[in-house]
Amino acid sequence: VPVFPWHSLVPFLAPTQSD
């Protein structure tokens, strides 16, 4: 059964990325 790390579930929104 595959096991996934918790941080694969949430987006990585680096503050340096802006519109």
Q: How far is the CB of 16 from another protein (least distance, A)?
A: 7
> How far is the C-alpha of 12 from the C-alpha of 5, rounded, in Å?
14
CB of 19 to another protein, least distance (A): 5
Residue 15 — left, alpha, or beta (φ > 0 → left; ψ -120 to 50 → alpha)? Answer: alpha
How many angstroms separate the CA atoms of 14 and 17, rounded? 6
CB 9, min distance to another protein, A: 6
Site string for another protein, 1-19 (x = CB under 8 A): xxxxxxxxxxxxxxxxxxx
Residues that bind another protein (CB under 8 A): 1-19
